[in-house]
Amino acid sequence: MAEHQDGTRAAYDGVVELYASLFADRLETQPFARAMIGTFAELVRATGNLRVADVGCGPGHLTGMLNELGLDAFGIDLSPGMVEHARRARPALRFDEARMERLPVEDGALGGVLAHYSMIHTPPAELPALLKEQVRVLAPGGLLLVSFFGTDGPDPVRFDHKVTPAYSWPADRLAELLTEAGLVPFARLLHDPATERGFLDAHLLARRP
């Protein structure tokens, strides 16, 4: 696990400013993703627990968006370069350097977890343990929104992401993993990508019972 994470951290540390500039508009050109995040925020607000972790937050653009949507959101990222950028860009918000499989959050504390294309670099064999960690920090009724690259085949597909190797997932298979981790998937959105990378853009919403 440490080997691929070390590579991922180094890769993202090397593209901080470029990555941040590419996503400066947050989701203004991605209406489907924007709609799912808005739905996620509305449902989290309805739980009464507004505390939300943006895991794999990168430069913090979505952490800021979640706060604008009325949530008490904070960001977590593996890359110290990304965390440093996020702190400079949004000094009023909290950003921590941490790994998604060891979140610095107490059990059952959160109303929501956002994982916006942040689990895509995790090898398939390691994803179940990572998902269980997200479940650990969610309060009963808390929500997880996972966005990822979708594929039509039966198995995850490894591909050369522009930053570091990543995996696309069949939505049904990822939904099964969410269920096995202790969540109840209840909504999904699949749509053609905004670029020519060839995979579907996919979003799954799940709730902790």
| pLDDT-based confidence at residue 163 (cuts at 50, 70, 90) | low
First-last CA distance in the chain: 29
Q: What is the per-residue pLDDT for 24? A: 64
Chain mean pLDDT for the chain: 90
- Structure-token match 């090898």, residue found: 123
Mean pLDDT across the stretch 39-46?
98
The domain locations on the chain are 2-207
Q: What is the per-residue pLDDT for 26? A: 63
DSSP state of 198: -
Burial (CB count <10 Å: 0-12, 13-18, 19+), residue 24:
exposed
Residue 2 has pLDDT above 60, yes or no: no
Q: Which residue in 6, 3, 58, 52 sits closest to 27, CA to CA? A: 58
Residue 165 has pLDDT above 90, yes or no: no
Q: Which residue in 113, 14, 23 sits closest to 59, CA to CA? A: 23
| pLDDT-based confidence at residue 77 (cuts at 50, 70, 90) | very high
| 93 token code pair | 């918000």
Q: What is the per-residue pLDDT for 66? A: 97
List the CATH code of the domain at 2-207.
Answer: 3.40.50.150
Residue 134 has pLDDT above 60, yes or no: yes
Q: What is the per-residue pLDDT for 95? A: 98
Q: What is the per-residue pLDDT for 67? A: 97
Q: What is the pLDDT of residues 106-128, one digit of tens each?
A: 999 999 999 999 999 999 999 99
pTM value > 0.85: yes
Mean pLDDT across the stretch 180-185?
98
